[in-house]
Amino acid sequence: MKRAERALEHLDAPVLDADREASLADVDRLNAWFGGYGLTLRAISHVLRRRRAPEVLVVVDVGGGRGHFARRLQAWARRRGLHVRVIVVDREARDVEGDALMVCADATALPLRDGAADVVTTALTLHHLEPDAAVRCLAEMRAVARGAVIVNDLWRTRLTLGLVWLATRLFTRHRFSWDDGPLSVRRSYSPAELRQLAEKAGIANLVVRRYPWLGRVIAVSA
């Protein structure tokens, strides 16, 4: 299935705050119910098993929206006795409940020093970027990470398209989600395309895992 280049989702354009919040709530619900958050947490856990956990684990979440994943990460860390500091970078960032630091910035120009974080993650963000911008985003993530870069995104297959179409009809509440969900699948990068983008960004050791029935790919560089 060919990638839908230069197609725009509703949330890529200026929309009313109420519409944006309702649509992001749908995304949060689907991530919680269908394992999206769990896959990123599992990837972080694998990274920590390969190296000694720092006294304070610093995680940057690129495109982290309203901090939904950040709050789950903080709860996950507390259950494991880990101290974590989460920095959410998003062009629509605003103060939310919780301890995460919210930074308003673009994914292609992270306002953080090199090596500022142990882990840099992004979920359901890379497909919003065309290839040149995606490379810049990955290069910025690589620079900020002194440890691992983790990319969680949709897998562009007909199976994923069908699963997402059904899930958005059954489990979402806002009309934007009915359009944006399937379009997100069509805009996503294949595993091979992800590797090519990563190589251009200077990431040579990307490991991509596929989860067909969740419609996801997890790419980790550590």
Distance from first CA to last CA of the chain, Å, rounded? 30
Label residue 96 by pLDDT band (50, 70, 90): low
Domain assignment of residue 1, yes or no: no
183 domain residue, yes or no? yes
Q: What share of the chain in percent tops pLDDT 90?
A: 90
Is residue 28 domain-resident?
yes
> Distance (Å, rounded) from C-alpha 64 to C-alpha 169?
24
Q: Is position 3 within any domain?
A: no
Number of structural domains the chain divides into: 1
Phi, psi of 208 (to 5 degrees): -110, 125
Structural domain includes residue 138: yes
Least confident range of 45-54, 81-90, 157-166: 45-54
Alpha carbon distances (Å) from 210 to 24, 52, 84, 152, 192: 24, 27, 27, 10, 11
Tell me if the pTM is above 0.75: yes
CATH of the domain at 80: 3.40.50.150
Range of the domain at 205: 10-221
- Over residues 1-35, the pLDDT tens digits come to 999 999 999 999 999 999 999 999 999 999 999 99
65-75: average pLDDT: 94
